[in-house]
Chains A and B, each alone.
Chain A
Amino acid sequence: MAVVFEKTKGLTDKPTHYCPGCTHGIIHRLVAESLEELGLLDKAVGVAPVGCAVFAYDYFACDMQEAAHGRAPAVATGIKRVHPDAAVFTYQGDGDLASIGTAEIVHAAMRGEKITTIFVNNAIYGMTGGQMAPTTLVGQKATTAPLGRNADHAGMPIRISEMLATIPKAVFIERVSVHDVPNIIKAKKAIKKAFEVQMQGLGFSMVEVLSTCPTNWGKTPIEALKWLKENMIPYYPVQNFRTPEEVK
Chain B
Amino acid sequence: MAKELWKGNEAIAEAAIRAGCRFFFGYPITPQNEIPEYMSLRLPQVGGCFLQAESEVAAINMVYGAAGAGARVMTSSSSPGISLKQEGISYIAGAELPCVIVNIVRGGPGLGGIQPAQSDYFQATKGGGHGDYHLVVLAPDSIQEAVNLVQEAFDIADQYRNPVMILGDGMIGQMMEPVEFGEIKKRELPEKTWATTGLRGRKEHNVINSLFIDPAVCEKHNQKIFTKYAEIEKNEVKVEEYNLEGAEIVFAAYGTVARIVKNAIKALEKDGIKAGLIRPITLWPFPKANFFKAADMPGVKAFLTVEMSMGQMVEDVELSVKGKKPVYFYGRTGGMVPTPREIVEEAKKILGGAR
- Measured CB to CB, the residues of A under 8 A from B are 12, 41-45, 47, 54-55, 57-58, 60-68, 71, 74-83, 86-87, 103-104, 106-107, 111
Contact = CB atoms under 8 A, between A and B. Distances in A.
A81 B23 contact: yes
B199 interface: yes
Contacts of B208: 64-66
A65 B207 contact: yes
Contacts of B64: 65, 67-68, 71, 74-75, 78
29 contacts: A12-B205, A42-B198, A44-B199, A57-B207, A63-B206, A63-B207, A65-B209, A68-B87, A68-B88, A68-B91, A71-B58, A74-B53, A75-B68, A77-B51, A78-B65, A79-B69, A81-B62, A81-B66, A82-B23, A82-B49, A82-B65, A82-B70, A83-B69, A86-B197, A103-B57, A106-B54, A107-B53, A107-B54, A111-B51
Interface string B189-221: 000000011111100011111110000000000
B25 interface: yes
Interface in B61-120: 61-71, 73, 87-88, 91, 95
A47 B207 contact: no
Contacts of A81: 23, 49, 51, 62, 66
B55 interface: yes
Interface in B159-178: none
A166 B51 CA distance: 23
Contacts of B91: 67-68
A219 B354 CA distance: 76
Nearest to B196: A63
Contacts, number: 134
Contacts of B55: 103
A83 B207 contact: no
Most buried by B among A54, A71, A103, A106: A71
Q: Which 6 A-B pairs have the closest CB atoms?
A: A78-B65, A74-B61, A43-B198, A78-B66, A63-B196, A75-B65
Contacts of A60: 205
A74 B198 contact: no
Given A65-B65, A71-B58, A78 B23 contact: yes
Contacts of A55: 211
Contacts of A12: 205
Contacts of A106: 54
A71 B61 contact: yes
B344 to A, nearest CB: 48
A66 B208 CA distance: 6
Contacts of A44: 198-199
A75 B208 CA distance: 11
A76 B206 contact: no
A41 B198 CA distance: 8
Contacts of A75: 61-62, 64-65, 68
Given A66-B210, A107-B58, A47 B65 contact: yes
Nearest to A58: B207
Nearest to B62: A78
A45 B199 CA distance: 8
Nearest to A63: B196
A158 B73 CA distance: 35
A106 B55 CA distance: 12
B199 A79 contact: no
Contacts of A78: 23, 25, 61-69, 73
Contacts of B73: 78, 82
A77 B207 contact: no
Nearest to A77: B62
Nearest to B208: A65
Interface in B262-305: none
B348 to A, nearest CB: 51
A111 B52 CA distance: 11
Nearest to B210: A66
B54 A79 contact: no
A125 B95 CA distance: 25
Interface in B1-55: 23, 25, 49, 51, 53-55
A82 B69 contact: yes
A47 B198 CA distance: 12
A132 to B, nearest CB: 23
A34 to B, nearest CB: 16
B49 A64 contact: no
A128 to B, nearest CB: 14
Nearest to A66: B209
A71 B205 contact: no
Nearest to A81: B49
A144 B62 CA distance: 32
Nearest to B88: A68
B211 A65 contact: no
A41 B61 contact: no
Given A54-B211, A83-B198, A104-B54, A63 B205 contact: yes
A43 B209 CA distance: 19
A54 B207 CA distance: 13
B65 A74 contact: yes
Contacts of B61: 67-68, 71, 74-75, 78, 104
A58 B65 CA distance: 18
Nearest to A44: B198
A76 B201 contact: no
B205 A64 contact: yes
B199 A42 contact: yes
